[in-house]
Amino acid sequence: MASSTILSLGSASPLALLAVSENSKVPPQKVKFGSSGLTNSFLKAKGNSSLKSQSFGRISMTVAVNVSRFEGVTMAPPDPILGVSEAFRADTNDAKLNLGVGAYRTEELQPYVLNVVKKAENLMLERGENKEYLPIEGLAAFNKVTAELLFGADNPVIREGRVATVQGLSGTGSLRLAAALIERYFPGSKVLISSPTWGNHKNIFNDAKVPWSEYRYYDPKTVGLDFDGMISDIKAAPAGSFVLLHGCAHNPTGIDPTPEQWEKIADVIQEKNHIPFFDVAYQGFASGSLDADASSVRLFAACGLELLVAQSYSKNLGLYAERIGAINVVCSSSDAAARVKSQLKRLARPMYSNPPVHGARIVANVVGDPALFNEWREEMELMAGRIKNVRQKLFDSLSAKDKSGKDWSFILKQIGMFSFTGLNKAQSENMTNKWHVYMTKDGRISLAGLSLAKCEYLADAIIDSYHNVS
């Protein structure tokens, strides 16, 4: 029986074995090994492995291929919102429009950094501020001004120290931290979420193991608010549920309750002993007024309700990548607020330890300085005004081009950076496949990604998709 020689394939790669028959008389230097095959196949004495054998003339190779311990991990589906941007970038058509992600763009459809943000960053450089760790609860100056911005500096909940404020990782991280608080201290309590809602809300509560159900919100017949359905579902929920509300510029519909409807919602929540939980992502960016956009939250606080409010500065200060926001918990006493804050810190510590400092300092500088604050309000009014102009132009274009008599006025009744077009999934797919307009499949478009010059093109796409796709 012929003996065989065992060759090692190099100490730098995983161990693989090659058995070469000595009868082949092939000199070792004539046997070449490519870098792609054998270096990725290796034999382990233990573990999941299988043998593969292949012959090349009189040279026989036997290689053990290790099976990954992660074979059971499936490919996750693309994110329904962020995946839109990935598809948009791959499209080479010049007419393409990205109306999926809610990020402000200039009339030239370019990202915009606020001038007041640049000034705040220059101040930081001049002061030579360091990059030391923040406390778990975040930057004290940020926590102070963000709570005052939300509730008003003279609000009794601020004066009496009844707000527990912890800096979070923008709106998403703040919501997640609040969800962890609910799961730990209100076990079994359900969160009521509007139908429809921002795509990540359900993910956040699922991940935190907090049960949720939906309440009616959008009425497809009127492309407006199903107020009666909303009130009925809130009343029917188990007492002590958390009711997730959008403080202003409801995402994705752009449909907000009227001031009178907000009062009714507050009354029903109070009657049912529910806990309101606001998501405020667009303060000042929806209407152009910081006070008007916080009026719903302030109304509930004035009713004496304990409540949670998640904040984000991604939109109104354009700090998308800085991940800056906060979770605020309004309590009935300062003592309760201190205890809640201590537990929020306890939850944050193993989750992310402490928050980033750069964005927090920007907010503290802008909101805390009267001159910069006034400049910020002016810039916000300009951004909100551009979106209002685009909204009006889109309505005008639809009304002029659509000869069917359809009423498109719901577009003007909506508010904020989004418009809920009423298009279904098939119609939304036609918008993308035929017209290269990238949007979420629920029919939501981001007007912040639209320019006045593109409104007529978008109107053509919407009319075609609405009338010609069932």
Kindly write down the DSSP assignment for every residue of 319-358, as one continuous string: -GGGTEEEEEEE-SSHHHHHHHHHHHHHHHHHHHSS--SH
- In angstroms, the CA 225 to CA 218 distance is 5
- pLDDT at position 82, please? 74
Instruction: Answer yes or no: are the C-beta atoms of 411 and 419 closer than 8 Å.
Output: yes
Phi and psi at residue 111, to the nearest 5°: -60, 150
- pLDDT at position 101, please? 82
What DSSP line would sit under 60-124, residue for residue? EEEEEEEPPTTTTPPPPPPPTTHHHHHHHHH---TT-EE-SS---B-TTS-B---HHHHHHHHHH
Q: What is the pLDDT of residues 265-312, one digit of tens each?
A: 999 999 999 999 999 999 999 999 999 999 999 999 999 999 999 999
Specify the DSSP element, H or E, that contains 244: strand 242-246
| Mean pLDDT of all residues in 20-29 | 44
Q: What's the token pair of residue 403?
A: 């000869």
- Packing angle, helices 259-271 and 227-236, rounded to 10: 10
- pLDDT at position 359, please? 97
Q: What is the pLDDT of residues 339-365, one digit of tens each?
A: 999 999 999 999 999 999 999 999 999
| Mean pLDDT of all residues in 400-424 | 93
Measuring CA to CA, which residue among 93, 176, 168, 117 is closest to residue 138? 168
Helix (H, G, I), strand (E, B) or coil at 463: helix
Tell me the one-letter amino acid at 93: N
Of residues 383 and 47, more confidently modeled: 383
Q: What's the token pair of residue 194?
A: 């509007």
Helices (H), 190-331: 201-207, 227-236, 259-271, 290-293, 295-302
- Packing angle, helices 370-401 and 455-468, rounded to 10: 50
Instruction: Indicate the pLDDT class of residue 406, thresholds 50, 70 and 90.
Output: very high
Asked whether residue 461 carries a pLDDT value surpassing 50, the answer given is yes
- pLDDT at position 64, please? 64
- pLDDT at position 113, please? 96
Phi-psi region of 306 (alpha: psi -120 to 50; beta: other; left: phi over 0): beta
- In angstroms, the CA 99 to CA 115 distance is 24
Asked whether residue 156 carries a pLDDT value surpassing 50, the answer given is yes
Asked whether residue 28 carries a pLDDT value surpassing 90, the answer given is no
Asked whether residue 10 carries a pLDDT value surpassing 50, the answer given is no
Instruction: Indicate the pLDDT class of residue 8, thresholds 50, 70 and 90.
Output: very low
- pLDDT at position 39, please? 42
| Mean pLDDT of all residues in 162-167 | 98
Q: What is the pLDDT of residues 51-103, one digit of tens each?
A: 555 555 556 565 667 889 999 999 998 787 777 888 888 999 999 999 988 89
Q: What's the token pair of residue 27?
A: 């000199």
- In angstroms, the CA 370 to CA 154 distance is 16
Looking up tokens 């090692």 gives 8
- pLDDT at position 36, please? 44
The predicted model scores a pTM of 0.83
Measuring CA to CA, which residue among 463, 444, 468 is closest to residue 100? 444
Q: What is the pLDDT of residues 169-197, one digit of tens each?
A: 999 999 999 999 999 999 999 999 999 99
- Residues linked to residue 243 through DSSP beta bridges, in sequence order: 192, 276
- pLDDT at position 85, please? 83
Mean pLDDT of the chain: 89
- pLDDT at position 232, please? 98
Residue 1 CB: number of other CB atoms within 10 A? Answer: 3
- pLDDT at position 427, please? 96
- In angstroms, the CA 183 to CA 190 distance is 10
Q: Which domains does the chain have, with CATH numbers?
A: 4-66 (no CATH), 82-111+380-468 (3.90.1150.10), 135-368 (3.40.640.10)
For the chain, report the end-to-end CA distance as a whole number of angstroms.
75
Cα angle for residues 411, 313, 266 (degrees, 5° grid): 65
Instruction: Indicate the pLDDT class of residue 111, thresholds 50, 70 and 90.
Output: very high
Rg of the chain's alpha carbons, rounded to an integer? 29
- pLDDT at position 409, please? 94
Helix (H, G, I), strand (E, B) or coil at 415: coil
- pLDDT at position 203, please? 96
Please tell me the least confidently modeled range out of 23-32, 116-125, 338-347.
Answer: 23-32
Instruction: Indicate the pLDDT class of residue 457, thresholds 50, 70 and 90.
Output: very high
Asked whether residue 212 carries a pLDDT value surpassing 70, the answer given is yes
CA 313 from centre of chain: 12
Catalytic residues: 198, 279, 315
